[in-house]
Amino acid sequence: MDILRRNTDYALRAMVNLARHRGGELMSARQLASDGAFPYQIGCKILQKLHKRGLVESYMGQRGGFRLSREPSEITLMEIVEIFQGGIRLNRCLPGGEGCELQPECPISVKLESLQRYIDGYFGGITLEEILDGSKTVEKKKSKKRFRKEKNEQ
């Protein structure tokens, strides 16, 4: 079982890519799909949804494309996840789900509710900017390792 659905994953990839190009540069749907390694047709539908919900701006024409409608520091992963799958639910019995006939006696639900709150807070607390900053850190670590390896080989 995947926690993040396929279209949610594609949307996250597209949004991170748009965040990388936040200087006002427009990106085409085709370029976003290519960079994000997802099908162009699905990418178009994803971008339409993101535009409809106000997370991206869309410009028509030969030099048109997409860009974020807000700063990457203002867009959380949870916002994107909720658009494509209505949030992340561990179990249907938890708040926001279908409910459970075993409530309130169920000993499992207490722990699941705690985990659910953690997941909601975690995804709601991560912004696109933090993801970009994290990827810069990873790249720096890779560069340092590469440099040390090359130095040791000499």
Asked if residue 33 lies in contact with residue 65, where contact means CB atoms within 8 angstroms, the answer is no
State the pTM of this model. 0.77
Q: Exposed, middle or buried, 31 (CB in 10 Å: 0-12/13-18/19+)?
A: middle
C-alpha torsion 67→70→75→81, nearest 10: -50
Domains and CATH numbers, the chain: 6-142 (1.10.10.10)
pLDDT digit of tens for each residue in the chain (154 aa)? 678 899 999 999 999 999 998 777 899 999 999 999 999 999 999 999 999 999 999 999 888 899 999 999 999 999 999 999 988 887 777 665 556 676 667 777 778 888 888 999 999 999 999 999 886 554 444 445 555 555 555 5
Residue indicated by tokens 């019995």: 93
